[in-house]
Structure 1
């Protein structure tokens, strides 16, 4: 039982949650001569993330069985997470069975065990297939606006009438989400068509009236509308680009241009997503920090914070004078201490762990350094990278060894070690009174060079 529970923990699945649900089973086959690797995708904040891969057998059959993390849209297909071609949407929940057959241009349901939700979703798929085909599969057909616009105009009233009719799935969550799925499909297909290579392009006057109703705020009144859709962020970016083009003015770049675009987006979370897209193309660390200061209030979700951290750490040169990483960790009493709390003091950071022999060797020398620096504007901060399971062991060692300074717990090799590219401990780092890097590879306390280095910046 312990091994099973550990495996489920690694997969991010709680044992009690597992016992409360049943797996989803997918049985698929190819109805074409050439087979291909098939992927199963989940939806994460408006993007598609592969979670499993299947190789078809000699007869073109493949399958998946998994415990769903959520009830909602997943995708199965031969495409990639960056390209919608060849990927198909399905609504999956605990215990569902899905049977599909993939041919050269589409999919069909097979078997008799498919859920009512996926039967309904497939009705919509078949109804919208030609519009999707001409929009998304642009490299495989010669469609232009001359034949696409009539198909789009024909689909719009059909979709509205179909949505108004009974669905009888018994699933209120799905039926509510279906309205968003249809709305987003229509907007995505319509705008994607205009932003993909064509042999002929329409004038503004030739656009159907539908396009005037498509804007970031009408399609995405909340960030969750984008986050629940497999191509949500791609649709958001594409529609936003068209919103920007409507002004007819050349878009500005940098922070000024980003703030101008904020005026087109009502939702603060989506402002953060747009800002991070702009941040990702900045190559200079100093310019990045200036940009970050102007958009930081819109970095709201955990995913956005991780994206920002990755951009920041990739650009950080870690050279003297660069701003130090703004960490936040709990001390031995559970109080949160941030790097910015230490401003006004020269800061010595020691990254260590209770299991680290070389770290223990430095403890007596670190104590002597603390005594020498008493009464001076020096903060000595020890950050443990022990795992969460060893937190009590860490606290006990602080007591047994009478460790002084500021003792913080990072719960493993956390962001601070990734930011400063720490792969071995102990690692000592020094920062000046303004929180700027002096060195991220300082002498150890056992070296006579450390004390003069600290005193130099007092």
Structure 2
């Protein structure tokens, strides 16, 4: 069968999904969402983004053909907002659910739905309304507040009536769009104030609408995380509140103060991760994040922070050691910082690792030789959670001394120090600073000599 235009243009990710084995249940075609359309004249590639915790995440891209046509096929998409991007002039927001068929024409800074679901038609109608102000809140627009403020004051009162007109059969979408309409207008209004213009207003000239944006606790609703611009929005709101404040400050607000603007922990975590790029030293980063680290509630937020911390570390001698943690044999949490005051020798190992077990007799001999010295030997197991009882039994059977911690797999310590193979031995001084993150093994005399050298300096 000759392939259709759509199938010729499908990104590889979709073709791979079609090659999956057949399973019982509904046909996979019934859950396939297809997006096709006409790209702007100079566009060469279209990128499709999903939304993950308030950020756009690329899931596919495709080249534009000689007729400026493009297409995507997305097997069983998670329902929600998606974004199409040509790399310039902003992104086109669409709504997808399994089985959707969408055809649109993209122009510079706008688009038209030619075939689409009720949700996409309703979303398009709203974005046409929003366009009356949003085009003036982008870089390169020459409008000043003299033309923007009247348009904002004309649209803002209409939003309540426009929300009443949202009436697709999809209740979930209806509620999301109504919520998003308020967010969109606020975002556009705040963005305008921070864009460079030839003429800027005094605060006294701001429309009354700006005052109602400020709330004691903002963005409590987790639905904001379904918006691909949520990261920008929370950072923008943080800046906007300081612009609107009458309080005179000696310096910028701390991260701890800024998280108090919001009442949803995941959104607080989003603000923290969006702020990470502003830190230039490890000490400033860790000092700022320490009081709010509990708000990094998702795995992706924790990994973003870990990457930022790692990016400011050099792992050279004299650098502070990473404050990793694990559970001891009794289930008590122990952190690296708890052990400061002694030389710390870390052994990263696992019960399934033959070379690790081969080093154990040598390690135990070294521990005995250093028994009365100012040294702590710490074993850090990377056994998986399912093997925790096996680890506990092994520790007891082999009478392993020192501090024995369970890390539940290849956790933070291995990711932070780029440990790809075990055993790995690391040595830290009495102040918790790195001596080496790739130390000799106990089966060689060099490890004992290194420890003796550190102790002789104290």
Band of TM-score, shorter chain: 0.7 to 0.9
Contact 2:219/2:262, CA 8 A, preserved across alignment: no
- The answer for the alignment partner of 1:192 in structure 2 is 191
d(CA) in 2 for partners of 1:116, 1:269: 31
Deviations 1:129-177 (A, max 9, x none): 22222223x42x4322222222222222332212123x33222211111
What is the aligned counterpart of 2:96 among 71, 85, 92? 92
Q: Does 1:151 align with 2:151?
A: yes
- Match of 2:92, SS? strand
- The answer for the alignment partner of 2:120 in structure 1 is 118
Q: Which has the higher mean CA deviation after the structures are superposed, 427-436 or 186-195?
A: 427-436
What is the aligned counterpart of 1:442 among 432, 439, 443? 439
Q: Evaluate the alpha carbon distance shift between residue 209 and residue 21 of structure 1 in structure 2; reply closer, same or farther with a 3 A threshold.
A: farther
Q: Which has the higher mean CA deviation after the structures are superposed, 344-353 or 227-236?
A: 344-353
Q: Evaluate the alpha carbon distance shift between residue 381 and residue 276 of structure 1 in structure 2; reply closer, same or farther with a 3 A threshold.
A: same
Q: Evaluate the alpha carbon distance shift between residue 104 and residue 249 of structure 1 in structure 2; reply closer, same or farther with a 3 A threshold.
A: same
d(CA) in 1 for partners of 2:363, 2:431: 23
1:386 is displaced (CA, Å) by 6.2
- Match of 2:48, SS? strand
Contact 2:222/2:264, CA 8 A, preserved across alignment: no
Q: Evaluate the alpha carbon distance shift between residue 331 and residue 350 of structure 1 in structure 2; reply closer, same or farther with a 3 A threshold.
A: same
1:78 is displaced (CA, Å) by 1.3
What is the aligned counterpart of 1:62 among 70, 83, 91? 70
Q: Evaluate the alpha carbon distance shift between residue 102 and residue 293 of structure 1 in structure 2; reply closer, same or farther with a 3 A threshold.
A: closer
Q: Residues 165-180 of structure 1 correspond to what in structure 2 (within 5 A)?
A: 165=165, 167-180=166-179
Q: Which has the higher mean CA deviation after the structures are superposed, 428-437 or 17-26?
A: 17-26
d(CA) in 2 for partners of 1:308, 1:128: 35
Q: Does 1:212 align with 2:199?
A: no
d(CA) in 2 for partners of 1:322, 1:21: 55
Q: Does 1:318 align with 2:315?
A: yes
Contact 2:424/2:438, CA 8 A, preserved across alignment: yes
d(CA) in 2 for partners of 1:328, 1:131: 50
d(CA) in 1 for partners of 2:84, 2:134: 16
Contact 1:134/1:148, CA 8 A, preserved across alignment: yes
What is the aligned counterpart of 1:127 among 123, 126, 129? 129
- The answer for the alignment partner of 2:3 in structure 1 is none
TM-score of the two chains, using structure 2 as the length reference:
0.80
TM-score of the two chains, using structure 1 as the length reference:
0.80
d(CA) in 2 for partners of 1:52, 1:347: 46
- The answer for the alignment partner of 2:225 in structure 1 is 227
Deviations 1:241-290 (A, max 9, x none): 12102235665447x64445455445555444444555532323333333
1:208 is displaced (CA, Å) by 2.0
Q: Which has the higher mean CA deviation after the structures are superposed, 372-381 or 25-34?
A: 372-381
Contact 1:101/1:110, CA 8 A, preserved across alignment: yes
- The answer for the alignment partner of 1:4 in structure 2 is none
Deviations 1:282-325 (A, max 9, x none): 32333333333343344444333222212211222334554432
d(CA) in 1 for partners of 2:340, 2:41: 67
- The answer for the alignment partner of 2:286 in structure 1 is 289
1:124 is displaced (CA, Å) by 0.9
Contact 2:348/2:382, CA 8 A, preserved across alignment: yes
- The answer for the alignment partner of 2:50 in structure 1 is 42
Q: Residues 18-417 of structure 1 correspond to what in structure 2 (within 5 A)?
A: 23-30=31-38, 32-67=40-75, 70-79=78-87, 85-111=89-115, 114-136=116-138, 138-139=139-140, 141-165=141-165, 167-215=166-214, 217=216, 220-222=218-220, 224-248=222-246, 251-253=249-251, 257-262=254-259, 264-267=261-264, 269-320=266-317, 322-329=319-326, 338-340=335-337, 342=339, 346-352=343-349, 359=356, 361-374=358-371, 378-385=375-382, 391=387, 395=391, 398=394, 402=398, 404-405=400-401, 408=405, 410=407, 413-417=410-414
CA RMSD of aligned residues (A): 3.9
d(CA) in 2 for partners of 1:318, 1:283: 16
For these two proteins, the number of residue pairs brought into alignment is: 435
